[in-house]
Amino acid sequence: MSEQTLNQAAAKAPEHAELSTSVHSWADGLWERIGQKIERTSRRIGVSCPHASVNGVYDDMRISWWTAGFWPGILWQLSADGKYPELKSIAEQCEERLDEPLHSLAVHHDSGFIWLLSAVANYRITGNERSKERGLMAASQLASRFNLKGRYIRAWHDTASLNRAGWSIIDTMMNLPLLYWASETTKDPRFRHIAAAHAETVLTHFMRPDGSSYHILHFDAETGELLGADAGQGHAENSAWARGSGWTIYGMVLSYQYTGDEAFLIGAKRAAHFFLANLPEDYVPHWDFRAPRNADTPRDTSAGACAACGLIELAGCLPAGEGQMYLEAAVRLVRSMDENYGAWDREDEEGLILSGTSNLPGGVHVDTPLIYGDYFFVEAVSKLRGSERRFW
Ligand code: GLY
């Protein structure tokens, strides 16, 4: 090749991995079907707090449950461009209902899941000042859960018999963006320092050398010393709960995007490699990568959908040549969920995507649509259509 041709090729090479027009048009078609199905479901469930679809019908959980943001999150995803004004109105009413847990301090470390997808989404889209205040209140509560000695964010409150001051869990990776957002919004770096310190603890203690993660770790809340681990929602202490892998991939990418710290990018890649290397033939993960497996072992589409969002973002952080692999893996995942797990043609099913697993050891919602699986699926499809709107 002449130098001129080489220069022309270099000029044309995309900076980041790109999607083909056929992927864009497939995602556009999917977006239409999602909108139709969500509109239909919204007419029945309205302002409520769905967690899982039971026998085809979305339930209504208590408003302080960690999943309370996903329904308004879906509604904001669909209505952000001005379409579906009635969905926007439901999202606003869901946000108002959330003032109750916000003011009663009922919410634990999952305030990111709840208020990023409700109040912060509203603020980002409409500039609503009341929503900004809600987001900042939730961020302050989350920041107050930081344990300085152990450099971790505490997970849940105590129970009558259990002091849980030293418990921290992998899911918190997805709550950190509330803190990063609060620092950007207030121009006060304290929130970001706390989030980054927690993410560093995840790199040091939660992530294993192979890229898998523990679900629950116990620290000594006085000294910060690491004491041990628990299986939590996974099969065993040393197994690899698939949704935990999803939280790690996406959470690490987000920490990298907000801080620019390469260690989080490397963490995201390690988690992604473990996840991708363990996928079955149809690319949709089993609920735990190290649980005993037979033909009936449940999948967890919610883990796949969350991971797909993380993989798309990861691809965007990398040069085109390196990012393409992650982007194509995300497309394979979302395509399989659409073709093999989509509930599009079922009038008797409110969920979008079948075969989520909430908590198999606890016997809670196994092999059924979950609102967070549906949310991350919607977000992934939005990204595959080319949207760069940020919700986390
Ligand atoms: N945050 C709880 C879960 O992933 O099920």
Q: What is the pLDDT of residues 58-112, one digit of tens each?
A: 999 999 999 999 999 999 999 999 999 999 999 999 999 999 999 998 888 999 9
pLDDT band at 319 (very low <50, low <70, confident <90, very high): very high
Region of poorest pLDDT, from 4-8, 19-23, 42-46, 371-375: 4-8
Task: Tell me the residue range of the domain where 151 lies.
Answer: 18-384
Helix axes 301-316, 320-341, angle to 10 degrees: 160
Average pLDDT over residues 308-320: 97
Active site residue 171: yes
What average pLDDT score do residues 187-216 get? Answer: 98
C-alpha of residue 171 to centroid of ligand 1, in Å: 6
Dihedral angle of Cα 131, 132, 136, 138, to the nearest 10 degrees: 20
pLDDT at 59: 98
Q: Is residue 282 part of a domain?
A: yes
pLDDT over 90 (residue 336): yes
With a cut of 90, say whether residue 4 has pLDDT above it.
Answer: no
Tell me the pLDDT band of 3, cut-offs 50, 70 and 90: low
| Ligand 1 closest atom vs CA 243 | 4
Q: How large is the average pLDDT for residues 254-275? A: 98
Ligand 1 pocket by C-beta < 6 Å: which residues?
66, 171, 233, 243, 358
284 pLDDT above the threshold of 60 = yes
Tell whether 8 is covered by a domain: no
The answer to whether 336 and 330 are in contact (CB under 8 A) is no
- Give the model's pLDDT for residue 105: 80
Is residue 299 assigned to a domain?
yes
Cα dihedral sign, 199-200-206-210: positive
Going by CA atoms, what residue is nearest to atom 2 of ligand 1? 171
**Could you say which of 28, 158, 171, 348 is catalytic?**
171
Average pLDDT, the chain: 96
Q: Is residue 6 part of a domain?
A: no
Query: With helix as H, strand as E and coil as C, how does the chain read?
Result: CCHHHHHHHHHHCCCCCCCCHHHHHHHHHHHHHHHHHHHHHHHHHCCCCCCEEECCEECCCCCCCCCCCHHHHHHHHHHCCCCCHHHHHHHHHHHHHCHHHHHCCCCCCCHHHHHHHHHHHHHHHHCCHHHHHHHHHHHHHHHCCEECCCCEECCCCCCCCCCCCCEEEHHHHHCHHHHHHHHHHHCCCHHHHHHHHHHHHHHHHHECCCCCECCEEEECCCCCCEEEEECCCCCCCCCCEHHHHHHHHHHHHHHHHHHCCHHHHHHHHHHHHHHHHCCCCCCCCECECCCCCCCCCCECHHHHHHHHHHHHHHHHCCCHHHHHHHHHHHHHHHHHHHHHHECCCCCCCCCCECCEEEECCCCEEEEECEHHHHHHHHHHHHHHCCCCCCCC
pLDDT of residue 283: 98
- pLDDT for residue 9: 56
Q: How confident is the model at residue 155 (pLDDT cuts 50, 70, 90)?
A: very high
Mean pLDDT of 327-352: 97
Domain assignment of residue 391, yes or no = no
* pTM: predicted TM-score of the whole model, two decimal places: 0.96
Domain containing 43 — which CATH number? 1.50.10.10
The total domain count for the chain is 1
Q: Is 4 contained in some domain?
A: no
Q: Which of 3-7, 63-67, 225-229, 312-316 has the lowest mean pLDDT?
A: 3-7
State the catalytic residue, choosing from 60, 110, 300, 348. Answer: 110
Q: How high is the pLDDT of residue 95?
A: 98
* Measured distance CA(117)–CA(138) in Å, rounded: 12
Whether the pLDDT of residue 2 is over 70: the answer is no
pLDDT of 381 over the 60 cut: yes
Which of 186-208 are b and which e, b meaning 16 or more Cβ less than 10 Å from the residue's Cβ? eeeeebbebbbbbbbbbbebbbe
Residue 306 lies in a domain: yes
Active site (annotated) includes residue 59: no
pLDDT beyond 70 at 6: no
Please tell me the distance from the alpha carbon of residue 85 to that of residue 39, in angstroms, as a whole number. Answer: 11
Tell me the average pLDDT across 263-270: 98
The pLDDT of residue 1 is 55
Q: Probe ligand 1: pick from 213, 233, 371, max atoms within 8 Å of CB?
A: 233
